[in-house]
Structure 1
Amino acid sequence: MKAYVTAIIENYVREYEKTSATKWGRPLVGFADAAHPMLPELRVVADKNHVMPQKVLEDAAIVVCYFLPFTRETAKSNIGDGHASPEWARAYEDTNALFTRLNAHLIEQLEARGYRAAVSPEATTFDREVLMSRWSQRHMAWLAGMGTFGLNNMIITDAGCCGRFSSVVTNLDVTPGAPLTTENCLYKREGKCGVCVRHCFSGALTTEGYDRKKCFGVCSENAAVYNDFGNSYAADAEGVIMDTGSEVCGKCLVGVPCAFGKPFREE
């Protein structure tokens, strides 16, 4: 079933690209344990009200997590200080729109085979007070063993960190992955690199921590510039759609050694 789910995602993306201005790299797919003992810790390291998979689906067994890498062309367009590039803003919105359709398709295909599946309603909401979501796509991907957190707070996968994650909760009976035991971030692994910090022109990202409000301020500035691509991730914590533009930046994901792969050779 893992191969079946992966094929559904890969095939849908390839078909979707035929009519999309945005293109993507090959998707990566992981499977997290919906009853993993570390799940309650998300209410400490992420949002204190983080939703558990069983709240999404009563008999949840697996969280299917997948990563859509952006293309090198999209990433290259966003290198440099100042506003995010229009290509980056469009890719952000196009990817979110794709997630909505792909997740519905995946749920339909799983249900056709007798399984149950659902998407957390919290996955597309964002609390503008605490600046967090009650469903962390990245932490779910981490639990699935898809990668580890970089200094830039992104998950560094086998295909790097330049892209976006989504997920579907299901009662699939497959063997889940597990969090990796070694770091994929060069800074965390060897104490060197930190290119993502240097690329954060606002100073929101440092080697000591991350200023969430300062980062969101930059994203809001970009939203004021890019309001023609939609606002697909604009619901507040209560699910009310906000009239915003594309709240993006992405400078810490581009032009870095981990953008499109692990920044070191496997031993």
Structure 2
Amino acid sequence: MKAYVTACIEDYIAACQKTSETKWGTPLVGFADARHPRLGELRKVANENHVMPWEVLPDATVVVCYFVPFTRETVLSNREGRLSSPEWARAYEDTNALFARLNAHLIERLEARGYRAAVSPEATAFDREALRSRWSQRHMAWLAGLGSFGLNNMLITDRGCCGRISTVVTNLDVTPGRPLAVENCLYKRGGQCGVCVKRCPSGALTKAGYDRQKCFGLCSENAAVYRDFGNSYAADAAGEILDTGSEVCGKCLAGVPCAFQKPIKE
């Protein structure tokens, strides 16, 4: 079933490439243990009210996690300037829109085979006061073993950190992955690099920590400019629909050694 799920995701994205202005690389697919003993850590490092997989689906066994990388052209377009490039903003919104359709497709395919599957309602909700979500796609993908966190707080996968992550909770009977035992981040591995800190235009990212308010401030600047590509997080934590643009940035992802691949060769 792992191969089947992977093929469903790859084939759907390949079909979308034919009509979408945004293009993507080959996705990475992993499976996180829905009862992993480290799930409790998410309520410490991600959100104190983080939703658990069994709250999404009572008989959940795994969380299907997939990383869809942006193309080299999209990433390179975002290297210069304070604000995001139009290509990056469009790719961000187009990818999130793709996820909604792809997840529905994957759930339908799994249910046709007798399984149950669901998406956490919190996956697309965003608390604009806490600046956190109650469902962290990145941490689920970390549990699945798709990568490790970089100094820029992004997941560094075998295909880099420039892309988007989505998840589907299901009761598939497959062997899950597990968090990596090593760091993919050059800085965390040996104290070298830190290029992502230099790339941050707002000063939100430092080697000592991360200022969410500063980061979101720059994302809001971009949203004021990019109002034609939609808004993936139109609903806040209370479900209120907001009229905002594309709250993006991505400068700490583009132009870094981990943009397209993990920079460490084992």
**TM-score, shorter chain, exceeding 0.5:** yes
Match of 1:93 in 2: 93
Q: RMSD of aligned C-alpha atoms?
A: 0.6
User: In the alignment, residue 190 of structure 2 is paired with which amino acid?
Assistant: E
- Offset at residue 214 of structure 1 (A): 0.2
**Structure 2 partner of 1:132:** 132
Aligned to 1:9: 9
Q: After the TM superposition, which segments of 4 or more aligned residues of structure 1 sit over 2 Å from their partners?
A: none
Counterpart in 1 of 2:152?
Answer: 152
Distance 2:114 2:93 in 1: 32
Helix, strand or coil: the match of 2:166? strand
Contact preservation (8 Å) 1:66, 1:166: yes
Number of residues paired by the alignment?
266
SS at the partner of 1:228?
Answer: coil
What's the counterpart of residue 76 of structure 1? 76
2:122 corresponds in structure 1 to: 122
Instruction: Judge which range, 226-235 or 183-192, deviates more.
Output: 226-235
Matched, 1:166 2:166: yes
Cα separation, 1, equivalents of 2:190 and 2:88? 30
What does residue 63 of structure 1 align with? 63
Structure 1 Cα separation of the partners of residues 211 and 94 of structure 2: 27
How does 1:225-264 map onto structure 2 within 5 Å?
A: 225-264=225-264
| Equivalent residue number for residue 213 of structure 2 | 213
Q: Kindly provide the amino acid, as one letter, of the partner of residue 77 in structure 2.
A: S
Residue identity over aligned pairs, in percent, reads 77
Tell me how far 1:81 sits from its aligned partner.
Answer: 2.9
Q: Per the alignment, in what secondary structure is the counterpart of residue 98 of structure 1? A: helix
Note the residue ranges of structure 1 that are not aligned, 5 or more in a row: none
Amino acid in the other structure paired with 2:91: A
- 1:6-56 alpha-carbon deviations (Å, 9 max, x no partner): 000000000011110000000000000000011111111111110000110
Query: Counterparts of 1:67 and 1:111 in 2: how far apart (Å)?
Result: 22
Secondary structure, aligned partner of 1:263: coil
Q: State the alpha-carbon separation in 2 of the partners of residues 248 and 106 from structure 1.
A: 27
**Distance in 2 separating the partners of 1:166 and 1:6:** 13
Give the equivalent residue in structure 2 for 1:104.
Answer: 104
1:27 maps to a residue whose letter is P
Task: Compute the displacement of 1:80 (Å).
Answer: 1.8
After superposition, the C-alpha distances for 1:210-260 in whole angstroms (9 at most, x for unaligned) are: 000000000000000000000122210122221100000000000100001
* Alignment check: 8 A CA contact 1:80 1:199 kept: no
